[in-house]
Amino acid sequence: MRNQEDIMADYLLKGGKMLDKLCPVCGSPLFVVKGVTECVVCKERGTQIIPAPKEAEQIKTDSAPDISVKKDLEAPCFTSPGLIKELEETVIVLCRRCQNESRPEDCLSLMESIKTGVELLKTLK
Q: Which domain holds residue 103?
A: 81-124
Instruction: Tell me the per-residue pLDDT of 41-52, one tens digit each, with 9 for 90 and over.
Output: 888 887 755 454
Please calculate the CA angle 57-81-110 and round it to the nearest 5 degrees.
70
Q: Is 23 contained in some domain? A: yes
Same domain for 53 and 93, yes or no, is no
Q: Is 72 contained in some domain? A: no
Q: Is 37 contained in some domain? A: yes
Q: Do residues 56 and 72 touch, judged by C-beta distance below 8 A?
A: no
Q: What span, in angstroms and rounded, lies between the C-alpha atoms of 113 and 117?
A: 6
Same domain for 94 and 50, yes or no, is no
Q: Is 66 contained in some domain? A: no
Number of independent structural domains in the chain: 2
Instruction: Tell me the per-residue pLDDT of 107-120, one tens digit each, with 9 for 90 and over.
Output: 888 899 999 989 98
Q: Is 69 contained in some domain? A: no
pTM over 0.75: no
Instruction: Tell me the per-residue pLDDT of 57-77, one tens digit each, with 9 for 90 and over.
Output: 444 444 445 444 444 444 445
CB neighbourhood size of 84 (10 A): 14
Q: Is 64 contained in some domain? A: no
Q: Is 73 contained in some domain? A: no
Q: Is 70 contained in some domain? A: no
What is the separation of C-alpha 111 from the centre of its chain, rounded to a whole number of angstroms?
Answer: 15
